[in-house]
Structure 1
Amino acid sequence: MAESEDSADEQEAPAKRGMGLIGWGITAALALGLGGGAFFAMHSGLADGLLHAEEAPPVKEGTETARESYLELDPLMISVGGAQSVKQLRFRAFLQLADDSQTDVAALQPRILDIFATYLRAVSVDRLEDPTGLLHLRAQLLRRVQLLAGRDAVKDLLIIDFVIA
């Protein structure tokens, strides 16, 4: 008889349930709403006052920072490949210079062209034709120019023409 009373109590007691489908739906909707609102506040700048962000000083128009200048190097035509190969490389580039070093680097142009020609002749045609090889080649040429002219004088090398025919 005791068993029947215990089983009756178990049947009468409601089963404990979790949040249920509606509870999870409300939780997901709140999370998405709060996340979207926080993103909007951060993206639009509404929360800048809350985070005590310091404002950068406004840039005045008409004031110029250190200007960059470019030096166009004379075009090069270089024979590449072995003795049995009759391939030509047409190469044209610009050097991006610091503003105060333009005359110094322009005076070194014959040496720069000699360094470029010597290096490009030594590189194999397969490496020149490799699509990723141009990045390595550019880095090598820039390093050689910076050793000659000074690291601060030449900022970058811009390859304009690179044609193997």
Structure 2
Amino acid sequence: MSAAAATMAPGDAAAGAGGAKKGGKKKLIILAIPVLLIAIGAGLWFSGILPNMLGMGHKAETEEHAGKEKEKEAHAPVFVELPEMIANLNAPGRRASFVKLKVRLELSKEADQAAFTAAQPRVIDLFQTYLREMRPDELRGSAGSYRLREELIARASLAAAPATVVDVLFSELLVQ
């Protein structure tokens, strides 16, 4: 036995071991409380309860979105029909391929119609030049129609700059 252990009484040794256990429990509680509070806060935040309590949650965004939807409903869209377009496609080989296209453009508001009508020849020109560079296999299937729609929206928006073109609606699309 060591000299320190010999000088301590048997009861003192038991008290020293219990004190070490109590200190470990205190450290565990001190560390567990902040972790528990953070976990509760994260749960409340991601469930949406805490942001709503603070007034910056999904409810505010939903109300804002509903206000924009009502504003859109108040302004009915305007449709402008373009004349039928026929263009030869960039087809390899001797056989010629053509596309026949009849579209309607959806404008965001009625005030844009006058600006679009002034820019309509430019829109038709951009459509025609784009169609002449396309290959017949690029227009096959729904993916080809989707890509064509996106390109025509981009070109119409560029040509009729103050007017806002929302969508291109195909009345007729024939590839031959």
TM-score (norm 2): 0.52
Q: How does 1:85-164 map to 2 (within 5 A)?
A: 85-97=95-107, 98-103=109-114, 105-106=116-117, 109=120, 112-125=123-136, 127-128=138-139, 131=144, 133-134=147-148, 137-138=151-152, 140-143=154-157, 145-146=159-160, 151-152=161-162, 154-156=163-165, 158-161=167-170, 162=173, 164=175
- CA change 1:47–1:107 in 2 (3 A) is closer
Distance 2:97 2:7 in 1: 98
User: Which aligned segments of 4 or more residues in structure 1 are displaced greater than 6 angstroms?
Assistant: 6-11
Q: How does 1:59-70 map to 2 (within 5 A)?
A: 68-70=77-79
- The Cα RMSD (Å) is 4.5
Distance 1:10 1:128 in 2: 89
Q: Which deviates further from its counterpart, 66-75 or 2-11?
A: 2-11
Please say if residues 119 and 159 of structure 2, whose CA atoms lie closer than 8 Å, have aligned partners that are also in contact.
no
User: Which AA in structure 2 matches 1:70?
Assistant: F
* 5+ residue gaps, structure 1: none
* CA displacement, residues 17-62 of structure 1 (integer Å, 9 cap, x when unaligned): 2417xx84x766554444444531433xx443xxxx9xx9xx7x89
Percent identity over the alignment? 18
Map of 2:88 onto structure 1: 79
* 5+ residue gaps, structure 2: none
* Count of aligned pairs: 146
Distance 2:49 2:154 in 1: 46
TM-score (norm 1): 0.54
Please say if residues 93 and 158 of structure 1, whose CA atoms lie closer than 8 Å, have aligned partners that are also in contact.
no
